[in-house]
Amino acid sequence: MDNSLIMEEVRLSPGEEKRQLREKVAKPMLWVGMGSMVMIFGSLTSAYVVRMGKGDWLQFELPQLFYVSTAAIIISSVTMNWVVSAAKKNDYKSMKIASLLTLVLGLAFVLFQFQAWSALVEQKVFFAGKYSNASGSFLYALTGLHLLHLAGGILALIVVWIKTLGQKYNAENMLGIKLCAIFWHFLDALWIYLFLFLLFQR
């Protein structure tokens, strides 16, 4: 065998090992983080049900903007799948478009959430204070905590978009996109759960 080829294999091997190590470590850490989030929201929704059963529970309609934000985040999961599919095909143009669309839809979700909170205030539903009620406080806590975690997803989308502009991803190097997609789909599913919970647990 040509000595130059042997040297090249030796030179590339550490990088490949490092890449595989990152993948083995990163995914389990992400799943552990998401598992912790599930326990947090599970505890909060359980406390919601217990407190609702004690009475003195304010009834109010969910703002229509919650429906709009739900549609936005569901569509963003579709475009996130587009990013993954394009990366597998080394379709850089589609990767750029799909990652930007996902980011825009994620930011739109955030905007709609803030607008929904404004609509709640107009209904005299407050988080705290003299005129607050436990039902409103729980709603703000659940949706606000989700939005806080979503901020991490937005940052991940920004990183993915910037790297797609520089063509940093391809079919052999998709770890960043895969991790972002897993987390974003999780945030999507978590919001759908919260939305349906708040919609039917009135």
Dist. CA 161–CA 164, nearest whole Å: 5
CATH code of the domain containing 36: 1.20.120.80
Domain of residue 121 covers 3-200
Dist. CA 127–CA 137, nearest whole Å: 4
Predicted local confidence at residue 10, as pLDDT: 45
Q: Work out how many domains the chain is built from and give that number.
A: 1
Whose tokens are 């217990």? That residue is 50
Dist. CA 4–CA 120, nearest whole Å: 69
**What share of residues in the chain are helix, strand, coil (percent, to 5)?**
80, 0, 20
Q: Which residues contact 152 (CB under 8 A, 6 or more apart)?
A: 183
Q: Which residues contact 169 (CB under 8 A, 6 or more apart)?
A: 87, 95, 160, 163, 176, 177
Per-residue pLDDT of the chain (202 residues; tens, 9 = 90+): 444 444 444 454 455 666 666 777 888 899 999 999 999 999 999 999 999 989 888 888 899 999 999 999 999 999 999 999 999 999 999 999 999 999 999 999 999 999 999 999 999 999 998 888 999 999 999 999 999 999 999 999 999 999 999 999 988 888 999 999 999 999 999 999 999 999 998 7
Predicted local confidence at residue 4, as pLDDT: 47
Q: Which residues contact 81 (CB under 8 A, 6 or more apart)?
A: 181
Predicted local confidence at residue 9, as pLDDT: 44
Dist. CA 55–CA 134, nearest whole Å: 10
Predicted local confidence at residue 184, as pLDDT: 97
How many residues in total does the chain contain? 202
Report helix, strand or coil for 87: helix
Q: Which residues contact 147 (CB under 8 A, 6 or more apart)?
A: 110, 113
Query: C-alpha 184: how far from its chain's center?
Result: 3
Q: Fill in the amino acid letter for 156.
A: A
Check if the beta carbon of residue 188 is closer than 8 Å to that of residue 171. no
